[in-house]
Homo-oligomer: A and B are copies of this chain.
């Protein structure tokens, strides 16, 4: 007999795997807000047992009344667990095995694991539906912001036209601190390292991978497609200079690591790349480690959500939203519609046309600028603004803003530039997104 067939006034019994920052936060909420949670969901929410790497570690919360399992898979299968709460992380290994074991046993699963869901979401959603179990992962995207609920439920009447988001707080912290303090990328990267803001593999943050996982999950829900992280265009913030930030500012823009997903006639477009956005737009105004997601629909126009993208309290708040839904008997498909109906959308061969910001260094030769302009023109790229800055050395920094340009044309022009002999190093091209 399925656990959830028990009467709804029975306690909802959790098995929590992973007692790090988020797991500890969830335990604290369950202890502190037990009465409130019962009032709101109509039933007690209790922890049957927990699992973590080290049993002895002091986590600042009393755990001695809960059962203990060394193996999360054993926890996932316990008869006294209705909901398996996966807060270990990792796209493979024990997190995947335990999640699959839980679903196989017909348990509901609440997960904060963006990598696991971004890489294996459709299969897990199918497994959940076959077992008549629920799989939820609000905490996997944008921390405390209930963005999945907003998209899949609050905007369920909309054809979604675009999803945008700043969803890696570390990158936004680095970019806004570069602007505020005049420190360069390397200095801020080291500061983030000291402050513990970086993942063990920092490329997950600054390379846009972590944020790309989140974007792929939102795109799936927005457009009814099978999560396809492999086709997300990824570009990190490592090549962004102070000069880029200041020159973009001069022109009324700010630079953000921006995720954009939209469905076009050409296919699904998913990008997580540094973009210029209008400084006065909500995304342009976003400071520090805060996350922001912009949801656009054919009826609602535009909804903007802003909140903490990480941290024990906010992330645990998102985990609790899923747990409360399950306690209240809400049973929705993981990606907003039955897994079998999610389409394998073809990736768009190129992003939709947009203006681009180009930064390059020219050798101080007569006619250098004209040669660059000629290459751009020959490739069908029209120049909106061009600025050449004064320079002390032999290299002249040049900034160009193009009119709306198809990316393949831009790529052809960039490929043709070295042959002019006047461009030094690699030009930087950043999309200007109408945010």
Contacts and interface: CB of A to CB of B under 8 A. Distances in A.
A299 B316 CA distance: 7
B156 A321 contact: yes
B25 A153 contact: no
Nearest to A145: B303
A323 B144 contact: no
Nearest to A324: B156
Interface stretch (A35-43, A117-125, A201-209, A357-365): A35-43
A166 to B, nearest CB: 13
A306 interface: yes
A149 interface: yes
Contacts of A305: 303-306
A91 B311 CA distance: 43
Interface string A283-306: 001000000000001111111111
Nearest to A37: B157
Given A33-B159, A150-B150, A308 B302 contact: yes
Interface in A1-26: 25
Interface residues of A, number: 60
B317 A155 contact: yes
Contacts of A320: 156-158, 299
B308 A300 contact: yes
A246 interface: no
A420 to B, nearest CB: 44
Contact of A300 (B144, B149, B157, B329): B144
A277 to B, nearest CB: 15
Given A154-B321, A328-B332, A331-B329, A42 B338 contact: yes
Contacts of A37: 156-157
Q: How many copies does the complex hold?
A: 2
B146 A316 contact: no
B149 A29 contact: no
Most buried by B among A224, A311, A332: A332
Nearest to A295: B307
A341 interface: yes
B303 A304 contact: no
A139 to B, nearest CB: 11
A337 B39 contact: yes
A355 interface: no
A325 interface: yes
Interface string A350-371: 0000000000000000000000
A301 B169 CA distance: 15
A191 to B, nearest CB: 22
A146 B303 contact: yes
A152 to B, nearest CB: 8
Interface string A38-53: 0111100000000000
A330 interface: yes
A40 B313 contact: no
Given A39-B337, A153-B146, A153-B149, A313 B285 contact: no
Contacts of A144: 299-301, 303
A313 B338 contact: no
Interface of A: 25, 29, 32-33, 36-37, 39-42, 138, 144-146, 149-150, 152-159, 224, 282, 285, 297-308, 311, 313-314, 316-321, 323-325, 328-332, 336-338, 341
11 contacts: A40-B224, A146-B155, A150-B154, A155-B321, A156-B324, A157-B320, A157-B323, A285-B285, A300-B314, A302-B307, A305-B306
- Identify the 3 closest CB pairs spanning chains A and B, nearest first: A157-B320, A146-B154, A156-B324
